[in-house]
Chain A
Amino acid sequence: MGVTDSLKYYWNVKVVGEPFLQWQRWQAERHPKTPSRWRTDILSPPLRIGAKTKELISRHYLEGRYANGHRPVAWVTSGGPVEILQALGFYVLYPENHGALCGVRKAVVEISGEAENAGYSTDICSYARTDIGSMLSGKTPVGRLPKPDLLLACTNICQTVLHWYRVLAKHFKVPLILIDTPFVYSEASDHALEYVKKQLENSIPISEQVAGQTLDYRRLKEIIQLSKDAAELWLEIIGRGRHHPAPISVFDQFIHMAPIVEMRGKKETVDFYAALLKELDENIDKGIGAVRNERKRLLWDNLPIWYRLRYFAEYLAEHGISVVASTYTNAWGELAPLMNKEKPLESMAKTYTYPILNQGTKYKLDTMKRMVEEFELDGVILHSDRSCKPYSIGQIDQRNKLIQEYGIPALLLEADHDDPRAYAEEQVASRLASFVEMLDN
């Protein structure tokens, strides 16, 4: 690590960047008069915490921009066991999260085009294409991404990451840690969990070598606890959707979930979610719902359609529909009870083996059914995501079972979480409109 790089980091991040972002947040908090870009005649004004979310995300990418040479940098998959890396002082970048940001900023077609021009098929996940395109061209809406010193891919979300991270490893010529998590059909066997734990143990010396320091187990325990605390708060936040009207919609959750994905294991993340929970409770007391005239409530399955968040939120709100629960945002909280700082590696092995995408389709169906009952929902929208095959497989059967066995109206919408070229405007609009009319039958 170089002195010049560290000086650059301190100057740009600590001296200039952080105070500026803080000032920007204060301004936004004190003068919330800036009109929201989203329609506030049908949706409640944006949550106040939004200013803090913006500050946290901006700072995260600012830190990344100047991290090389000052801190070790790791790129990890969204379901990657990040706590060991956090304890070793790594700056952690989530290419999937960056991909989502590119989606929201409508930069995916251009950036993934760079990967497609290099021969990567459009059938590959749009997050992977966007990341590889960014890697090849340096294009990103966040200024600059730091180069990785270490890569960590965990197969608990899909098998694409295995090949995607091998491409990254070859390009950046850095070590790749692969954590292979056996698929859970009903319950993970002891030897499967032991196998994952061994891989976590084996990852430590490599990570230590790249970081240039030894893992402090006390620090690891603290980070596991912070991860658990934040995930528990997130679960509570999602649970507030049970109230009528729901104080938070999944479209808000999609935006405010960024810290739980990319800033787990930090005290600040815990404080952030505690503040969000407090704001929601205040809104519940005042009877403020995310949708002003909530008449119907829905569940969203699968990833968001990042480049059309506003369209969905507004179209549905116009018809008094609030989407209050999602299997996707739930996935970032539901494993919190499995974390245990007293058994760091053992509990991490379990936590990272049990994500929804590493379990059978029956588990997802049961989760949806449970959420429909608990949140008192009127229907389900299943986004069939061209990019995310593990999330989308089984959705036709799940949809039919929801309708035929449980009597829950359900709609399957074909799209892609990041690539607008796989989104047919008119067809989505007519399906959605028909579904809304059907709910009012």
Chain B
Amino acid sequence: MKIAALGIDVGSTTVKMAGVNASGEMIWNHLEQVAPRVEKQVDSFLNKLKEEINSLAGIPLVATGYGRNLVHQAVKNVTEITCHAKGVYHQLGHGGTLVDIGGQDSKVIVIGAQGQVVDFAMNDKCAAGTGRFLENSAARMQVSIDEMGSVALSATEEVTISSTCTVFAESEIISMVAHGVAVEPILMGLHRSLIKRVVAMVRSVGLVPPLLLSGGVVKNPAIRKVIEEETKEQVFLPEHPQLMGAYGAALLALKVKQK
């Protein structure tokens, strides 16, 4: 395994790291839940890799994500917008409109034909339209995050969740549960509510097809289905949607090395 460059994405929920070879292919990756001490976690990531490949000397690291400024080993800090666009473009080979639903925010990035960022939008200051919205609601319904998509898809009917606010949606769920509404239709309604919020953001920048998805939340199959229903567009996913930020960062690190 010949790692030429590394990228790390310190997000709000998980920390992801990707290693690429000299031709930009992802040949190593690692993912963990984010720990309160980011610096220590980054050290342990690098130590883990060192054990595998003996030396990290001469391998540049680029950091992205909310905690990027805490990665002192990085040669450069780059925002998630640039990194996600870079990663997805490199993996899929074309531009389009990329929707990244992360734990703390959602982004819509219009990627041009040459892989450049043409425009972008991010969600409002609140948690509506982000992974946190589903996480909170899943906890309230006692359904695990990994299962909630398939449980939602098993619903034969759907209820409307009118609150876009995470806190108010939770109150709405409590009241529905109290009225005897089953878990599945509520979960389906929650997915719909989140996606409507995201689609509004897509519409605000203008959808340039194809529609691409990345971020940890897209592992959830209900998200993909609802977003296709709401946009009437087929969605395309890279092989590792959750690692696109780290992968893009690694590609930028490779560029630094080549300079």
Residues of A in contact with B (beta carbons under 8 Å apart): 396, 400, 403-404, 409, 412, 414, 424, 426-427, 430-431, 433-434, 437-438, 441
Contact = CB atoms under 8 A, between A and B. Distances in A.
A433 B122 contact: no
B206 interface: yes
Contact of A400 (B82, B117, B206): B206
16 contacts: A396-B204, A400-B204, A409-B119, A414-B124, A424-B125, A426-B66, A427-B122, A427-B125, A430-B79, A434-B80, A437-B79, A437-B81, A438-B81, A438-B82, A438-B116, A441-B116
B78 A437 contact: yes
B120 interface: yes
A433 B79 contact: yes
A413 to B, nearest CB: 10
Closest 9 CB pairs of A and B: A434-B81, A441-B116, A434-B79, A424-B125, A438-B117, A437-B82, A433-B79, A403-B119, A437-B79
Interface string B56-100: 000000000010000000000011111000000000000000000
B167 interface: no
Which residue among B79, B116, B117, B206 has the maximum number of chain A CB atoms within 10 Å of its CB? B79
Nearest to B78: A437
Contacts of A400: 204-206
Interface of B: 66, 78-82, 105, 116-122, 124-125, 204-206
A434 B108 CA distance: 12
Contacts of B206: 400, 404
A316 to B, nearest CB: 15
B78 to A, nearest CB: 7
A211 B178 CA distance: 68
A430 B122 contact: yes
Contact of A430 (B80, B117, B121, B205): B80
Given A434-B81, A438-B82, 10 more contacts: A400-B206, A404-B206, A424-B125, A426-B66, A427-B122, A430-B66, A430-B122, A431-B122, A434-B80, A438-B117
Contacts of A404: 206
Contacts of B125: 414, 424, 427
Contacts of B105: 427
Nearest to B126: A424
A400 B124 CA distance: 18
Nearest to A433: B79
Contacts of A396: 204
B153 to A, nearest CB: 32
A412 B34 CA distance: 30
Nearest to B119: A403
Contacts of B117: 434, 437-438, 441
Contacts of A431: 122
A427 B119 CA distance: 17
A430 B205 CA distance: 18
A434 B82 contact: yes
A430 B66 CA distance: 8
Nearest to A424: B125
A403 B121 CA distance: 13
Contacts of A409: 119
Contacts of B78: 437
A276 B72 CA distance: 44
Nearest to B120: A434
Nearest to B82: A437
A314 B36 CA distance: 30
A296 to B, nearest CB: 15
Contacts of A438: 81-82, 116-117, 120
Contacts of B116: 438, 441
Contacts of B205: 400
Contacts of A403: 118-119
Nearest to B114: A441
B197 to A, nearest CB: 16
Contacts of B120: 434, 438
B99 to A, nearest CB: 15
